[in-house]
């Protein structure tokens, strides 16, 4: 008998592979560790799934090296990732690679464990002479174990003295794994447990009961904006901690919610509860450190973006998914998982409650709460009975517009500035203008790689494609007719900020979009300046709608609603309602009442009518039957197949062939509609032609059966074409 391991190589392979464990490594290869293994003529990284004892090992290659001294993934977590990979019909090796901190799947770029020297006092009693020695010894005595860097902040050159003290056996030095500080830029804010109002108390009680019961129970906490949902999470987590368990809190994008992290830290860290974060703003090394700290059981609460759903917490007691409706829970490339849905899956597997919270629940979650598949909890009022802001629609057809702003909105801004309050203006389009247009021949610049016009970014003097990296400066004349230079057409955030500065020369205006927040911590700095009231008007894309709690904001303006409402997608109404309700929710959260002005060309639109009244229930009642009629989610299930390649005809032909094969397979699997093939809305993207086939079924099981063929579809295509399988698609561009 020889020891053999089953290894999932972190590569797009259809199956795990077997490797022989060499004599020297027997007993040290643990399930959940990474190993270096031969693959073809090269080496690759894999994760050990299983240990086996086997007789016939003649053909097996040996494991080359063990890369981790402790398993990075415990058994439960591995099982969870295996299920997730099956659900999304995505290769296990690549799913594992996505779940692990970045870089760990590569042999060359993997972040290294960093060690630091930590000094502590021994029991030796001895009087020292030199004053430097005395001071440092006293410091170490007073502070307990302390690392070299911290000592350096107190004493300019402590090293020689430390060596001397060590030689005298007065202190001991140990190498410890360092933790790079993940909280740079996230301040702890002064905060306290509030005494809860009745609805909050009821919610906390129900969640806490489920926590003590140690059972899977999913909740939908529907609470209007500013109703104190975060407070419910915080106080429910107290029960989790009291039971020596851990909490996992998912948020859409951590950079957008430094306030939330700050509240968790200040609330818990004084009581020695250890709060950790995991998000994409951290470097690979920082994430690796945090991951290992969690594995070592040094963290009690993990707050993170969608990928934190894979955090290696071994004593999980609750999962909270804040703003559960947010589309950023869905990964849009590679392993296309939905963080919220996986949170429910993990909660079920580990037997812990899962709390989904939102002011505007996704219609799927809402429907499930109506069927009691999620236990409904609701907060119907804002904290302190503050009123929700009054919403006015401005009909742009008859409006007197200046700088893209109607007279009503301009007056409202003037009044707000006079009261020294702050304004938020939403325009969900970055750049200066969506395109440059030739006044003579109507030409505009297009991306050579994608089927899209180039956006004009005036400050940097570049035309940019928002889908690929392509950019170019504009020419001095129209490249098509040789006429005068092209003019900006339409308005993005950059232009709006500029127009505002002309209208309100005294106002301090800032912009928050992907262009202004790409630098590390830029987002936090901007949020900080809003809180300090160093900004009078903040212009931004949907980023400004998310979760912020700015006390000074009394006016919210929505500059354009029509683009979102008319977007050709079955979810456009849901998205628009949610965006409007969320951004409106930023107004009037403190003492002064808030106001919202929405500019639109379609005042009668039923979605807007519901948004004016803050009436989510009416919106859901209105929208759900439309979905039901066409068996769209939540009344049916979708899988989007996207085929792409460099040659247009090859892609089109392969799509026809695939549909042919699918027709037969679908019949065997159950009641599945195969729609297409059709060109994707973005037919050409990053140089590739794209066709899509939509699979639709009323039963999830039928689709799951069909997806078992996915590896075969992929291998039938050959190497020149790519097939992406998107289960529960959110964006079908």
- Among residues 139, 155, 216, 467, the one that binds Zn ion under rule CB under 5 A: 467
C-beta of 199: minimal distance to ligand ADP in Å?
A: 10
470 near Zn ion (CB under 5 A): yes
Identify what 330 binds: ligand ADP, Zn ion, none; CB under 5 to 8 Å per kind.
none
Question: HEC states along 693-727?
Answer: EEEEECCHHHHHHHHCCHHHHHHHHCCCCEEEEEE
Contacts of 394 (CB under 8 A, 6+ apart): 406, 408, 409, 597, 598, 599, 600
Both tokens of 108, joined, read 């060359």
Q: Which does 635 bind (CB under 5 to 8 A by kind): Zn ion, ligand ADP, none?
A: none
Least distance from Zn ion to the Cβ atom of residue 445, Å: 11
DSSP state letters, 372-434: TSSEEEEE-S-GGGPPPPEEEEEEGGG---BTTB-HHHHHHHHHHHHTT-EEEEE----SSBS
Our finding on whether 84 is near Zn ion (CB under 5 A) is no
Reference 66, options 21, 103, 131, 99; nearest CA is 21
Q: What radius of gyration do the chain's Cα atoms show?
A: 28
Nearer to ligand ADP, 85 or 225 (CB): 225
CB 427 within 8 A of CB 559: yes
Considering only residues 165 through 204, tell me which ones interact with ligand ADP, judged by CB under 6 A. Answer: 194, 196-197, 200
- Give me the 90-129 binding string for ligand ADP, x by CB under 6 A, dash otherwise: ----------------------------------------
CB 192 → ligand ADP: shortest distance, Å? 9
Which one, 527 or 685, has the nearer CB to Zn ion? 685
Residues 399-438: x where in contact with ligand ADP by CB under 6 A, - otherwise, as a string: ----------------------------------------
Q: Residue 609 and residue 225: Cα distance in Å, rounded?
A: 18
Q: Report how many residues bind ligand ADP under the rule CB under 6 A.
A: 14
Q: Which residue of 11, 147, 468, 525 would you call a contact of Zn ion, by CB under 5 A?
A: 468
Distance from C-alpha of 264 to C-alpha of 286, rounded to nearest angstrom: 20
User: Quick one: what does residue 283 bind among Zn ion, ligand ADP, none, with the CB cut-off 5 to 8 Å set by partner type?
Assistant: none
Q: Which does 450 bind (CB under 5 to 8 A by kind): Zn ion, ligand ADP, none?
A: Zn ion
Which of these segments, 58-66, 215-223, 268-276, 442-450, binds Zn ion (CB under 5 A)?
442-450
Which does residue 200 bind out of Zn ion, ligand ADP, none, counting CB within 5 to 8 angstroms by kind? ligand ADP
Q: How far is the CB of 64 from ligand ADP (least distance, A)?
A: 50
Measured from the CB atom, the residue of 463 and 553 that comes closer to Zn ion is: 463
Q: Cα angle vertex 477, ends 476, 479, to 5°?
A: 120
Q: Nearest distance from residue 225's CB to ligand ADP, in Å? A: 5
Q: Is 378 in the site for ligand ADP (CB under 6 A)?
A: no
Question: Contact at 8 Å (CB) between 23 and 60?
Answer: no
**Rounded to the nearest whole angstrom, what is the least distance from the CB of residue 470 to ligand ADP in the complex?**
39
- What pairs with residue 358 in β-bridges? 222
Least distance between ligand ADP and beta carbon 230 (Å): 3
**In the complex with ligand ADP, which residue's Cβ is closer, 187 or 214?**
187
Question: How far, in Å, CA of 327 to CA of 3, rounded?
Answer: 45
Are 703 and 697 in contact by the 8 Å Cβ rule? The answer is yes
Q: Which two tokens stand for residue 139?
A: 């410091």
Omega before residue 634 within 30° of 0, cis: yes
| Binding partner selected for residue 227 from Zn ion, ligand ADP, none, CB under the kind-specific 5 to 8 Å limit | ligand ADP
Q: Quick one: what does residue 159 bind among ligand ADP, Zn ion, none, with the CB cut-off 5 to 8 Å set by partner type?
A: none
Least CB distance to ligand ADP at residue 612 (A) = 20
CB neighbours of residue 118 within 10 Å = 17
Mark residues 526-555: x for contact with ligand ADP by CB under 6 A, - for none: -----------------------x------
Q: Which residue has the tokens 């851990």?
A: 246
Supply the minimum distance, in Å, between the C-beta of residue 529 and ligand ADP: 19
- Residue with smaller CB distance to Zn ion, 210 or 450: 450
- Please report where in the chains the tokens 């009291």 appear, as a residue: 242
**Contact partner, 449, from ligand ADP, Zn ion, none, Cβ < 5-8 Å per class:** Zn ion
CA distance 543 to 526: 12
Report d(CA 490, CA 149) in Å as an integer. 53
Minimum CB separation of residue 579 from ligand ADP in Å reads 15
Site string for ligand ADP, 205-244 (x = CB under 6 A): ------------------x-xxxxxxx-------------
In angstroms, the CA 267 to CA 236 distance is 13
Chosen from Zn ion, ligand ADP, none, partner binding at 196 (C-beta under 5 to 8 Å by type)? ligand ADP
d(CA 434, CA 438): 14
DSSP state, residue 103:
T
**449 in contact with Zn ion (CB under 5 A):** yes
Contact 221, 380 (CB under 8 A): no
Query: Least distance in Å: CB of 471 to ligand ADP?
Result: 38
Q: Does 733 bind Zn ion (CB under 5 A)?
A: no
Per-residue tokens: 180: 């790079």
Q: Which does 468 bind (CB under 5 to 8 A by kind): ligand ADP, Zn ion, none?
A: Zn ion
User: Percent helix, strand and coil across the chain, each rounded to 5?
Assistant: 35, 25, 40
Shortest distance (Å) from residue 268 CB to ligand ADP: 15
Residue 660 Cα to chain centre, angstroms: 37
Per CB under 6 A, which of residues 11..50 are in contact with ligand ADP?
none
Closest to ligand ADP by CB, 218 or 228: 228
The smaller minimum CB distance to ligand ADP, of residues 200 and 605, is found at 200
Between 248 and 691, CB nearer to ligand ADP = 248
DSSP code string of 235-265: HHHHHHHHTT-EEEEE-S-GGG-HHHHHHHH
Contacting range for Zn ion; rule: CB under 5 A; set: 96-104, 173-181, 464-472, 540-548: 464-472
Task: Tell me how far, at minimum, the Cβ of 464 lies from Zn ion, in Å.
Answer: 9
Can residue 450 be called a binding residue for Zn ion (CB under 5 A)?
yes
Cα separation of 436 and 120, whole Å? 66
Q: For the chain, how far is it from start to end, CA to CA, in angstroms?
A: 54
Nearer to ligand ADP, 133 or 197 (CB): 197
CB neighbour list of residue 524: distance below 8 Å, 6 or more residues apart: 185, 186, 255, 258
- Contacts to ligand ADP by CB under 6 A: 194, 196-197, 200, 223, 225-231, 383, 549
- Contacts to Zn ion by CB under 5 A: 447, 449-450, 465, 467-468, 470
């Amino acid at each position: 008998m020889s020891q053999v391991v089953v290894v999932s190589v972190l590569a797009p392979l259809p199956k795990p592979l077997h490797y022989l464990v060499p004599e020297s490594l027997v007993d040290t290869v643990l399930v959940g560790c990474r190993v270096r293994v031969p693959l073809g003529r090269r080496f690759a990284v894999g994760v050990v799934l299983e240990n086996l004892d086997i007789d016939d090992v003649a053909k097996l290659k040996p494991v080359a090296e063990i890369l981790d001294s402790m398993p990075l993934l415990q058994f439960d977590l591995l099982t969870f990732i295996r299920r997730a990979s099956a659900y999304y019909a995505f290769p296990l090796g690549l799913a594992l690679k996505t779940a692990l901190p970045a870089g760990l799947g590569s042999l060359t770029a993997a972040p290294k464990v960093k060690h630091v020297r930590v000094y502590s006092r021994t029991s030796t009693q001895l009087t020292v002479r030199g004053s430097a020695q005395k001071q440092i010894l006293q410091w170490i005595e007073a502070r307990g174990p302390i690392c070299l860097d911290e000592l350096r902040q107190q004493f300019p050159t402590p090293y020689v003295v430390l060596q001397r003290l060590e030689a005298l056996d007065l202190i001991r030095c140990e190498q410890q794994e360092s933790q790079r500080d993940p909280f740079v830029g996230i301040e702890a804010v002064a905060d306290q447990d509030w005494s809860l109002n009745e609805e909050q108390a009821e919610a906390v009680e129900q969640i806490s009961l489920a926590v003590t019961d140690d059972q899977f129970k999913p909740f939908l906490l529907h609470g209007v904006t500013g109703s104190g949902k975060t407070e419910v999470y915080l106080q429910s987590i107290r029960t989790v901690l009291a039971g020596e368990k851990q909490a996992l809190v998912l948020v859409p994008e951590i950079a957008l919610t430094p306030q939330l992290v700050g509240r968790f830290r200040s609330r818990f860290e004084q009581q020695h509860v250890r709060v950790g974060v995991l998000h994409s703003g951290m470097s690979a090394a920082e994430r690796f450190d945090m991951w290992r700290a969690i594995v070592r059981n040094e963290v009690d609460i993990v707050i993170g973006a969608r990928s934190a759903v894979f955090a290696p917490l071994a004593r999980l007691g609750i999962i909270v998914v804040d703003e559960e409706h947010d589309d950023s829970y869905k990964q849009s490339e590679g392993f296309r998982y939905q963080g919220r849905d996986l949170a429910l899956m993990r909660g079920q597997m580990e037997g812990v409650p899962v709390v989904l919270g939102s002011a505007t629940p996704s219609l799927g979650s809402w429907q499930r709460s109506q069927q009691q598949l999620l236990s409904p909890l609701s907060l119907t009022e804002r904290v302190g009975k503050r009123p929700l802001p009054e919403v006015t629609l401005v009909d742009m057809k008859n409006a007197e517009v200046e700088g893209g702003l109607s007279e009503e909105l301009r007056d409202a801004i003037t009044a707000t500035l006079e009261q020294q309050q702050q304004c938020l203006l939403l325009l969900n389009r970055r750049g200066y203008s969506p395109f440059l247009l030739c006044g003579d021949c109507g030409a505009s610049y297009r991306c050579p790689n994608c089927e899209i016009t180039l956006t004009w970014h005036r400050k940097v003097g570049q035309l940019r494609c928002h889908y690929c990296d392509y950019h170019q400066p504009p020419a001095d004349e129209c490249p098509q007719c040789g006429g005068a230079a092209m003019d900006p057409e339409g308005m993005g955030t950059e232009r709006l900020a500029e127009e505002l500065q002309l209208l309100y020369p005294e106002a301090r205006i800032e912009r928050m979009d992907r262009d202004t927040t790409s630098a590390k911590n830029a987002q936090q700095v901007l949020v900080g300046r809003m809180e300090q009231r160093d900004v009078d008007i903040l212009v931004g894309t949907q980023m400004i709608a998310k979760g912020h709690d700015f006390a000074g904001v009394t006016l919210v303006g929505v500059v354009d609603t029509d683009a979102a409402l008319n977007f050709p997608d079955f979810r456009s109404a849901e998205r628009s309602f949610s965006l409007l309700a969320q951004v409106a929710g930023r107004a009037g959260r403190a003492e002064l009442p808030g106001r919202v002005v929405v500019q639109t060309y379609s005042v009668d639109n039923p979605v807007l009518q519901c948004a004016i009244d803050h009436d989510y229930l009416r919106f859901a009642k209105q929208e759900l039957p439309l979905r039901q009629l066409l068996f769209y989610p939540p009344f049916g299930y979708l899988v989007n197949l996207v085929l792409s390649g460099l040659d247009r005809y090859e892609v089109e032909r392969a799509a026809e062939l695939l549909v042919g094969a699918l027709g037969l397979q679908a019949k065997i699997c159950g009641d599945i509609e195969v729609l297409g093939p059709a060109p994707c809305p973005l037919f050409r993207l990053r140089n590739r032609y794209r066709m899509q086939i939509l699979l639709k079924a009323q039963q999830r099981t039928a689709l799951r059966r069909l997806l078992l063929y996915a590896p075969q579809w992929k291998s039938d295509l050959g190497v020149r074409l790519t097939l992406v399988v998107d289960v529960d698609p959110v964006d079908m561009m």
